[in-house]
Amino acid sequence: MNRVTCIVKPDRNSPSDAIQRLGGTRDDNGNRWSCTRQECVDHIKNGVSFYVNVSGHKVYLIWQKSASGLEYVRTDPDHDKADNLLSLPECP
């Protein structure tokens, strides 16, 4: 599994700007990874798991398609009202 620890988004305050890149660490070996939004969508479609650690529990990423056809990632809805991905720091 892949823990997401950071994101890259041009304007964090813009609801219309999509996340461009995600980054984090692999659970099996601790190696760092990074992928574009579309690469992450493709990985999820192929069965690769990504998650965000929220208050000690894993919240998994899912992919969706916007009305305009843009594929994007988001966290599976949980009981946390905050946006789990947007609360992450910017990737270096």
Residue 24 falls inside a structural domain? yes
10 DSSP assignment: S
Which residues lie across from 23 on neighbouring strands?
6, 34
Q: Cα(87)–Cα(10) distance, rounded to whole angstroms?
A: 15
Over residues 70-80, mean pLDDT: 81
Task: Assess if residue 84 is contained within a domain.
Answer: no
Both tokens of 18, joined, read 């999509």
pLDDT tens profile 17-52: 889 999 999 999 999 999 999 999 999 999 999 999
What is the number of domains present in the chain?
1
Q: Which domain holds residue 29?
A: 2-75
pTM of the full predicted structure?
0.89
C-alpha–C-alpha distance, residues 26 and 15, integer Å: 29
Please say whether the beta carbons of 4 and 61 come within 8 A: yes
pLDDT band at 76 (very low <50, low <70, confident <90, very high): confident
